[in-house]
Structures are given as structure tokens and as C-alpha cells.
Amino acid sequence: MTPDAKRDALLNFLDVQVFLPALNTGLAIYTDAGDRKLLANVKKRVDRTRVRYQQYATATEVAANFLKDLDSKFGQDLAADMWSLKLQRFEDIKKPFLSLCAKLGV
């Protein structure tokens, strides 16, 4: 597998598991105004994170930043808000993501 294909595989995994489900979540499923406001804020932060990940040039960068985001203040704050909204987070997919990294030799 080419280096670009490895990077694309990791980005696709993150898209399918975390980014797109969060971005495609509709406001209608939340009846509380606070949850709706939180969802709008979460969507903005998830979108910024997704754009940032797309700018990483290699699969190694994607994997390294995934691990950094698990421990960063920004990442932990976002994860707490996503958990509150019952959205899948990086923490929820850590094991399968790392398994994919190992399978790809990243």
C-alpha cells in the first residue's frame, strides 16, 4: 500500500467513525435548547478538527496527532461535549484505530 493510501485509509476511518456522524447529526433529535446549542458548537469544532487532519501529509502524522488529541485540553473538552450528546469520540475508537495503524504498518 502506498504512503498516500495509508494516510487516506486512516482519514477515511476517522471520517466514518467520528467526523461525519457528528457533522451529520440533526438538531431535531435534541429537544433541549442547551443541547442544540452544544451540538452546533461541537459541529464547528469537529469540522475544524477534520480540516486539520486532512492537512496532515502522512499516515504517521495522522496517527501521532490522533494520540496527541486524546490527551490535549482541546481534545478532552471536545470529547466531554460529544459524550454528553452521545456522539462517538476518539476515545471510543482508539483500539480499532490503533489496530488499523498496526495493520497498515504506521
DSSP secondary structure string, 43-86?
A: HHHHHHHHHHHHT--SHHHHHHHHHHHHHSHHHHHHHHHHHHTT
* Residues 33 and 75: beta-carbon distance below 8 Å: no
For 37, the domain range is 3-104
Task: Write down the pTM of the prediction.
Answer: 0.94
| Count: domains in the chain | 1
* Residues 55 and 10: beta-carbon distance below 8 Å: no
Q: What is the pLDDT, as a whole number, of residue 50?
A: 98
- Which residue positions in the chain have pLDDT lower than 50? none
